[in-house]
Chains A and B, each alone.
Chain A
Amino acid sequence: MKKNLMVVLAIFALQNIFAADANSVLNNWFAAQAKVKTWSADFMQIRSFKVLTQPLTTRGKIYFSEPNDFRWQLGDPVQTVAIRHDDEMFVVYPLLKRAEKYPMGASAPQQLRDTLSLLQAGMPRTQKEFESQFQIKSLVETNGNWQMTLQPKSQGARQMLPELKIMLATNDFSLASTTLVFADGSMMENDYTNAVVNPSLDRNMFEWTPPADYKVTEPAGR
């Protein structure tokens, strides 16, 4: 009986310590994030699929501008660009002269909003928004980084992506990497390097008008 009581007390104590750490890390992270108006970085994307014997690695660049604009470029030469501006996002495949248009914001389908929240997990705007979307499953310090394991609160998002990991530098709480773990066991890891906080970015890089010879589809349309 006494032993059991000790175990329970120990669990409580550990939970309190974890809660204290998590709060502290989150507070610092959000404080750092609050200072970010624009952001750019290089990244290495590693995709692991169950159907592939080896992971696939691609280099890319990311640009962010508050509140929600972003531009992902993947491949060298660029093979895929994802550009979000206001309530619209284009995924452009320049080599294929093809683009996909997605609605963003409140009018977007729930599934799309869930997916987007996962992609933006590494760049939260407010603590409240972050906590409404994710539950922190664990927080550990490893190799000078805080590794945060998150679980989406939305069942829809959870079905697609049961888990994601965010690595933050312990010194300045900058984003080091994100890892998305998909339901089928596939993973997508982005390791960020050469990050620059508040660089001067051309606003035009977040806007894109389909050229006449591009085929544009709306996969989320009915």
Chain B
Amino acid sequence: MKIRWWWILFLIPVVAGLARLHFDTEVLDLLPANVPAVQGLKIYQQHFSNSRELIVTVKASDAETAEATAKSLAEKLRAETNLTSQVIWQPPWQEHPEQTAELIGYLWLNQPPKFFQKFADKLSETNLPNVLAMTRERLATSMSPNEIGQLSYDPLGFTQLPQNSAAPNFAQGQGLFSSADGTFRIIFVEAKNDLADYRDCTTWLAAVKNAVNVAVPPNSQIQIGYTGRPVFVAEISGGMKHDITFSIAGTSFIIAILFWLAHRRIKPMLWLLTLLALILATTLALGGLIFGAISIVSMGFAAILLGLAVDYAVVHYQEALAHPQKSIPEIRRAIAPAIFWAAITTISAFLVLNFGGLPGLAQLGSLVAIGVALAALVMIFFYLPPLFPDRMRPQSNCNTDKIEKIAVLNPLRAKTVFLITAALIFICAAILYSGLPKMDATANVVQPRNSEAYATMDAIKKNLGHAREPFWLVIAGKNENEVAKKLDAIQPVLQNSVSNQTLAGFDSPDFMWPRPEFQNANRIVAQKIISEREALRAAILTNGFAGSALGLTESILQTWQRASAATNVFWPTNQLCDWIFGKISARETNQMFAVAFLYPTANATAISFAQLELQLPRDGVWLSSWELLGTNVLDEVKRNLWKLLLPMMTLILLSLWFAFRRFAEIAFSLGILFLSGLCLLAVMRLSGWQWNLLNLMALPLILGTGVDYSIFMQLALRRYDGDLRLAHRAVGRALLLCGGTAIAGFGSLGFSNNAGMASLGKVCAVGIAGNVFISVFLLPVWWKFFLRNEKSKSPSRLYAGKVWKMALTFARILPKPILHIFAKCAAAIYCRFASNRREIVVQNLLPVFRGDRKLAEKSVCKLFGQFALKICDLLRFESGVADKNWFTGWKGWEHFNTAHARGKGVLLVTPHLGNWELGGPFLTEHGFKLLVLTQPEPDAQLTALRQNSRAQRGVETLVVGDHDAFAFVEIIKRLQNGAIVALLVDRPPPHTAVNVKLFGKDFPASIAAAELARASGCAILPCIMVRNGAHYRAEIFPEINYDRAAIGSREGRIQLTQKMMTAFEPLIRENAEQWYHFVPVWPEEKSP
């Protein structure tokens, strides 16, 4: 019941997320919003790019055909009144010259009042005959068709605006619609209704294409092209749909096929696909909950997630198959740490993408992180149980692997692997000697491949003579005045850019933009001219002009009349003006925008534009273009790279440290990343691939999978004690399957419609292939070769002379409480991080606690803490700063006195329990000379240090090496002379070890005590010195009696040894947290 409630709680965010989820096809949303070029492009797209406008291009073999086709297409599309609201195929002022009057009237109102007044003066009644005479003369002598056409209908010269160079040239408009040779033409088609989403765009575009195909059959000599927002949206969305369907369906299909090939089982395959689908859907829902809109590129997370999630399932499943005798919880216990750390590393790598400054990548990183966390949980807890319902409880024959372990590394295999490693490094280095793969700084990667819309756009650029795409200068302000001021400030900067060859020219809206102050002043003068309308009319008619010459004058006067009646800023409103102003201005309630078009020279560089940008007003002015976008975004990415790489590397190293806590294994993981990276770069170089804004996101994935695979493989090698075959069977095969699916999945992205996604897929596929190959085939041999002798059976490297000397200095300097706190903290940290060592101690303690792992685990950290205090006390004692009351007294002293009194020597035997070293000085203080038998310490310096330290307190040390027969003779002699000898019995060198039972298990104990007893007849006294609270207590137990004749046989000596160990058993159990063994003490269980 409780579980169901949890499910419902979990379902709430999922359902809420699904409800909130929607997809964002805007490619600019993928890019950093703080980059001015991105901001400028966004504003341009939002306000100046007509979302309903389709551009149809016509290419014919000759100008006449092109013009006739464009005209007929326009007429055909205009007739489709259910589809289009406006179709423009030639400059609107040529098609509707009568509409130019409103624009001219508006432009006059925006002139500085002195110019307008001058014009008004020109139209004074007395001057009118001169003006008209001059017009007639120009009509008689001008050879310019434009001028003749203009003057014919404008006898008073309204069209001769001041600053004429900046005024719209109505004669030149054809250049917007036709190439210079006339064979290429453009038609602007506006949809009747809003095209809100991609479905609307796709449907409407198809209908328009049908209509066009009727007018111009597709197989004719005339080429028709389509571009504009409806085409882009239809293409991008279609591509996205294709990519997602192809990528997810393709990857799932490949997973299914490979899984089937590897395991030939349907149920786990179907269950895996079901869980993958659930993970994907849930991640998407949670993404929807967090972000609302998921961008198209972020949808690439699906492929990445599938590739990673399947790893966790397959590794888990393979482990279960490799160990049929283990229960599912045991399998989980074995594999979960690897999955956990692999997931943590991958999550870290992907979350770090949030620091990269690219919102698209950040979102993708977050989605993958959510999905990986979910996948790890689901695969650890839910994948195996339904597949192995009979293995949910521990099996009877647990902990036994039925596979023969192979401990030896085949030299030929080792040689081959190292040769391959060297060859890979050499070949890659040779390839990369010529240079690294280049960086594509353009924004082309966010564009679809094989795009009709882009191809048509390129054709427009080529045919209309734009060598380079124009740049946009977007200007924003709260009102007309603010924008006008900025336009005034920009004008000289642009002119300067033309002078210094950065720009070939520019079209500024400066002349067209409304000037409220001028309009207010000019309205009064305009009203005066309007009042003289009749006089104007009469003058025109009496000076040789017909009534048809009055049209423009009348219309302009009407416009002024309308403007004079208005109180706010006057904007022209007819269809022609709407079309023109729609291209250069945008108005919102509280903000206005204007756009200028800058035409760069062929030689202008990014630096020139950076300099131009510096001269522009900072606030509300954005210089932008698709060309600038790539450079600016790349600069931003470079600026943020350290924010990305530093935490990523730190987190990866931390994860690796937590996972391994061994430098060698961390180095192997890094080695995989290095070698795989080298191979990837070499392949990219050979194939001519480039880095770009999108395939850069492959890096965290490749890092993530490389680290994952290395963790899986190395932890497997540890689990199986370096057995390559077992590790390969349990994890290697699984990694091959995982890698195969990921490579296939990403490889399928290579067919994506989006160039960036395709390059991402290819780079990921190659990177992951490198990771798999190295992890499965090379890494195990490296590991085996370098770590075969470095088993955890050796003591810690901290147990060394230099460390001991340093510790002595610390103990001398630091006050006891501080030293204790420091030691306890160090012990706690060591216990937390040294998982290997901790596990060894757990295994050592398990028999003491009758196999209760929880108790053993609980005691481990206490044991480390006690050991730290023991060392502190010993160090303080040896450095001469020990407390006087550290010792609470002996118990069983009488047993010692009795034995010593016999004069046949006393052999004090003790396990590694408590602080046995302190016993020696105590005996010395009481007038007894002690000989301590030890083995050599891990390093000679430490052996000498320990020896000197004991000697300073009158304790003699005899270091007994392996098979040191002479040393034994010396000891026997000393015992026979009544000496007191101390000996540790629970961790003997192999040659003195015999098998006895301790806590019911075989235990190698030292037979040395029994041997010495046989040879010398000495008394054997078990003793211990353990910490009790803040002090120590010592106890000598009754002598272990033996029959000297009976121990003449080896069997008898073993029995005596058993007797000793049996005596220690309750003492060890009572003080388990002081039984200090940090190397395995129990013999390995032999495989049957």
Interface residue ranges, A against B (CB under 8 Å) = 45, 47, 49-54, 56-58, 72, 74-75, 79-80, 82, 91, 93, 100, 109-111, 115, 154-156, 160, 186, 219, 222
Nearest CB in chain B: distance from A56 CB, A: 4
On chain A, the residues within 8 Å of B146 by CB distance are: 219
A51 and B64 form a contact (CB under 8 A): no
Residues of B at the A interface (CB closer than 8 Å) are: 63-64, 67-68, 136-137, 139-146, 152-153, 155, 169, 171-172, 174-175, 180-182, 464-465, 544-546, 548-549
Task: Report how far A82 CA is from B142 CA in the complex, Å.
Answer: 10
- C-alpha gap A128/B1061 in the complex (Å): 126
A-B contacts, 7 of them at CB < 8 A, read A51-B152, A52-B544, A52-B545, A56-B139, A219-B144, A222-B464, A222-B465
B186 CB to nearest A CB, Å: 14
Given known contacts A51-B152, A53-B544, A155-B68, A222 and B180 CB-to-CB distance under 8 angstroms: yes
B-side contacts of A54, CB under 8 Å: 544
Please tell me if the beta carbons of A155 and B67 are within 8 angstroms of each other in the complex. yes
Picked from A53, A82, A154, A186, the residue with its CB within 8 Å of the CB of B143 is A82
User: B139, A49: Cβ atoms under 8 Å?
Assistant: yes
Is A52 a contact of B136 with CB atoms below 8 Å?
Answer: yes
> Which residues does chain B contribute within 8 Å of A50, judged by CB atoms?
152, 546, 548
B474 to nearest A CB, angstroms?
23
- A160 to B149, alpha carbons, bound, how many Å? 11
Q: Is the CB of A154 within 8 A of B64?
A: yes
Q: Are B548 and A156 touching (Cβ within 8 A)?
A: no
Cα of A222 to Cα of B145 in the assembled complex, Å? 17
Closest to B464 in A: A222
Closest-by-CB residue of A relative to B165 is: A217
Residue among A75, A115, A156, A222 facing the most chain B CB atoms (10 A cut-off) = A222
A49-B152, A155-B68 known; A80 vs B544 contact (CB < 8 Å): no
Q: Which of A58, A100, A156, A222 contacts B141 (CB 8 A)?
A: A58
Q: Whose C-beta in chain B lies nearest to the C-beta of A108?
A: B180
Question: Smallest distance from the beta carbon of A95 to chain B beta carbons, Å?
Answer: 9
Complex: A111 Cα to B169 Cα, angstroms = 17
Supply 19 further A-B pairs (C-beta < 8 A) apart from A50-B546, A53-B545, A109-B182.
A51-B153, A51-B549, A52-B544, A54-B544, A56-B139, A57-B140, A74-B140, A75-B141, A79-B137, A79-B141, A91-B143, A93-B142, A110-B182, A115-B145, A154-B64, A156-B64, A156-B182, A160-B145, A222-B464
- In the bound assembly, the distance between CA atoms of A57 and B63 in angstroms comes to 35
> Measured between alpha carbons, how far is A47 from B136 in the docked complex, in Å?
10
CB distance from A85 to the nearest CB of B (A): 16
Please give, as numbers and ranges, the residues of chain A lying within 8 Å of B169 by CB-CB distance.
219
**CB of A176, distance to nearest CB on chain B (Å):** 21
Bound state CA distance, A50 and B545, in angstroms? 9
Interface of A is mostly: mixed
Residues of chain A within 8 A of B152, CB atoms compared: 49-52, 186
The answer to whether B144 touches A155, judged by C-beta atoms less than 8 angstroms apart, is no
Evaluate contact between A56 and B64: CB separation under 8 angstroms: no
A74→B68 contact, CB < 8 A: no
Partner of A91, one of B140, B144, B171: B144
Which of B139, B174, B180 has most chain A Cβ within 10 Å?
Answer: B180
A57–B137 CA distance with the chains assembled, in angstroms: 9
Within the complex, what minimum Cβ distance (angstroms) separates A162 from chain B? 15
Specify which chain A residues have a CB less than 8 angstroms from the CB of B549 in the assembled complex.
Answer: 51-52
In the complex the two chains form, is A80's CB within 8 Å of B153's CB? no
Min CB distance B466 to A, Å, is: 9
What separation, in Å, do the CA atoms of A82 and B143 have in the docked complex? 8
> In the assembled complex, how far is the CB of residue A54 from the closest CB belonging to chain B, in whole angstroms?
6
Q: Are B182 and A47 within 8 A (Cβ)?
A: no
Distance of B359 from chain A, by nearest CB (Å): 38
Q: In the complex the two chains form, what is the Cα distance from A155 to B65 in whole Å?
A: 9
Report B-chain residues with C-beta under 8 Å of the C-beta of A82. 143
4 pairs of A and B residues whose beta carbons are closest in the complex: A56-B140, A51-B549, A79-B141, A155-B64
A115 to B142 CA separation, bound complex (whole angstroms): 15
User: Which A residues are CB-close (under 8 A) to B140?
Assistant: 45, 47, 56-58, 74-75
Q: How far is the CA of A57 from the CA of B141 in the complex (A)?
A: 9
B896 CB, nearest partner CB in chain A, Å: 114
Beta-carbon contact of A74 and B63 below 8 Å: no
Report the Cα distance A57→B136, complex, angstroms: 10
Contacts of A51 in B (CB 8 A): 152-153, 155, 545-546, 548-549
Which one of B139, B153, B171 contacts A47 once the chains associate, using CB atoms below 8 Å?
B139
How many angstroms from the CA of A115 to the CA of B146 in the assembled complex? Answer: 12
**Shortest beta-carbon distance, B145 to chain A, in Å?**
7
Knowing A50-B548, A219-B172, say if A80 contacts B143 (CB, 8 Å).
yes
Q: Taking CB as reference atom, which chain B residue is nearest A107?
A: B180
Q: Which of B143, B153, B174, B548 contacts A74 (CB 8 A)?
A: B143
* B175 & A222 in contact (Cβ 8 Å cutoff): yes
A159 and chain B: residue at smallest CB distance: B67
Let me know if A100 and B64 touch, CB within 8 A: no
- C-alpha spacing A49/B545, complex, angstroms: 9
Which has the most chain A C-beta neighbours within 10 Å: B64, B136, B145, B171?
A: B64
Task: Give the chain B neighbours of A49 by CB distance below 8 A.
Answer: 139, 152
Q: B182: nearest residue on chain A (CB-CB)?
A: A110
Task: Name A89's closest neighbour in chain B (CB-CB).
Answer: B143
B180 lies within 8 A of A109 (CB): yes
Give chain A nearest CB distance to B111 CB in angstroms: 20
Give, as a whole number of angstroms, the nearest-CB distance from A69 to chain B.
16
B606 to A: closest C-beta gap in Å:
25
Choice from A56, A93, A115, A156 contacting B67 with Cβ under 8 Å: A156
Chain B nearest CB from A31 CB (Å) reads 31
A49 to B147, CA, bound (A): 13
- Give A155 to B64 CA distance when docked, in angstroms: 6
Closest to B171 in A: A219
A74 touches B544 (CB 8 A): no
Query: Are B546's CB and A156's CB within 8 A?
Result: no
With both beta carbons as reference points, the residue of chain B lying nearest to A157 in the complex is identified as B64
Alpha-carbon distance between A96 and B465 when the two chains are bound, in angstroms? 32
CB distance from A97 to the nearest CB of B (A): 15
Bound Cα distance from A186 to B140, whole angstroms? 12
B141 touches A80 (CB 8 A): yes
Contact B139 A52 (CB under 8 A): yes
Contact indicator A52/B546 (Cβ below 8 Å): yes
The residue on A at minimum CB distance from B175 is A222
A95 to B714 Cα, complex, angstroms:
93
B175 touches A110 (CB 8 A): no
Q: How far is the CA of A45 from the CA of B139 in the complex (A)?
A: 12
User: How far is A82 from B144 in the complex, measured between Cα atoms in Å?
Assistant: 10
- Distance (Å) between the CB of B665 and the closest chain A CB? 68
Measured CB to CB, the closest approach of chain B to A70, in angstroms, equals: 12
Nearest-neighbour CB distance to chain A for B341, whole angstroms, equals: 64
> Nearest Cβ distance between residue A190 and chain B, in whole angstroms?
12
Q: In the complex the two chains form, what is the Cα distance from A50 to B551 in whole Å?
A: 13
Chain B residues within 8 Å of A110, by CB:
63, 180-182
CB neighbours (8 Å) of A154 from chain B are 64
Chain A residue at minimal CB-CB distance from B66:
A110
- CB contacts (< 8 Å) of A109 on chain B: these are 180-182
Residue of B nearest to A154 (CB): B64
Q: A109 to B177, alpha carbons, bound, how many Å?
A: 14
Chain A residues in 8 Å Cβ range of B172: 219, 222
Across-interface contacts of B67 in A (CB, < 8 A): 155-156
Q: Are B465 and A53 in contact (CB under 8 A)?
A: no
B891 vs chain A, min Cβ distance (A): 110
Contacts of B180 in A (CB 8 A): 109-110, 222
| Residue of B whose beta carbon sits closest to that of A60 | B141
Distance in angstroms from A27 CB to nearest chain B CB is: 29
The answer, among B64, B142, B181, B545, for a CB contact under 8 Å with A80, is B142
Q: How far is the CB of A164 from chain B (nearest CB, A)?
A: 15
Q: Chain A residues with Cβ under 8 A from B465's Cβ?
A: 222
Q: What's the least CB distance linking B465 to chain A, in Å?
A: 6
Q: Which of A52, A79, A186 has the most CB of B within 10 A?
A: A52
Using Cβ atoms and an 8 Å threshold, which residues of chain A touch B171? 219
B846 to chain A minimum Cβ distance, whole angstroms, is: 88
B91 smallest CB distance to A (angstroms): 13
Min C-beta distance of B63 to chain A, whole Å: 5
